[in-house]
């Protein structure tokens, strides 16, 4: 008896799941090696071997080991921007910041061990520090641009730049507390935001 044809949607789902598993395996392998030996001492070939794939497979997922370390940043950025854009156009800036923080906590909250390792590697490696600072600066500029549109002013106006800078400083305080103390990322971010609400405003 002839077998029924495979559902192309199911085939695609299996393929995407396999890709995600390989990407996750490469990321986990890289983080294990980075944690044990430091960032500079680990090669792409070693990460590939640890994940039981060929180096060419590595490069299908990541251009280099730097991008592996920062895997997920683009998705996080999109989550933040989506949360920002879903708030009311006339919402108080603190309401907008709270929505963005909630999106970040949802995406990063279960990644504490990996992010502790990543922050250590960044602090130890000047090139990674430069990459991280540049990424944060671009994201802060993007937030300032969106706030400027909401305020009806140019991006060089004081208000959007002040609020963008305050938002990132507030996030950094809560995020650092979470890295060092553990616990719930959302709770740490909310505590930092409450300081902004009651201490500055």
- The structure's pTM equals 0.85
DSSP annotation of 8 reads H
pLDDT of residue 130: 94
Query: What mean pLDDT is predicted for residues 133-159?
Result: 94
d(C-alpha 171, C-alpha 192), whole Å: 7
Query: What mean pLDDT is predicted for residues 169-192?
Result: 97
pLDDT of residue 10: 61
d(C-alpha 99, C-alpha 62), whole Å: 30
d(C-alpha 153, C-alpha 145), whole Å: 9
d(C-alpha 100, C-alpha 175), whole Å: 13
What length is written for the chain? 201
- The answer for residues whose C-beta is within 8 angstroms of residue 40's C-beta and 6 or more apart is 125
Buried b (16+ CB within 10 A) or exposed e, 133-162: eeeeeebbebbbebbbebeeeebeeeebbe
Query: What mean pLDDT is predicted for residues 100-129?
Result: 95
pLDDT at 7 over 80: no
pLDDT at 4 over 60: no
Confidence of residue 134 (pLDDT cuts 50, 70, 90): very high
Share of the chain above pLDDT 70, in %: 93
pLDDT of residue 72: 87
């Amino acid at each position: 008896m002839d077998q029924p044809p495979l559902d192309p949607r199911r085939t695609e789902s299996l393929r995407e799941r396999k890709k995600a598993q390989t990407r996750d395996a490469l990321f986990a392998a890289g983080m294990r090696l980075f944690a044990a030996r430091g960032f500079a001492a680990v090669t792409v070939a070693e990460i590939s071997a640890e994940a039981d794939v060929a180096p060419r497979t590595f490069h299908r997922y990541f251009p280099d080991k730097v991008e592996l370390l920062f895997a997920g940043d683009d998705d996080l950025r999109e989550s933040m921007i989506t949360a920002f854009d879903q708030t009311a156009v006339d919402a108080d800036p603190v309401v907008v910041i709270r929505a963005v923080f909630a999106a970040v906590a949802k995406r990063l909250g279960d990644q504490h061990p990996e992010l502790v390792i990543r922050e250590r590697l960044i602090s130890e490696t000047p090139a990674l520090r430069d990459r991280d600072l540049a990424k944060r600066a671009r994201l802060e500029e993007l937030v300032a641009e969106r706030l400027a549109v909401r305020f009806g002013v140019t991006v060089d106006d004081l208000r959007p730049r002040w609020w963008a800078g305050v938002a990132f400083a507030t996030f950094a305080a809560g995020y650092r507390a979470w890295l060092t103390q553990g616990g719930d990322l959302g709770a740490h971010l909310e505590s930092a935001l409450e300081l902004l609400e009651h201490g500055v405003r």
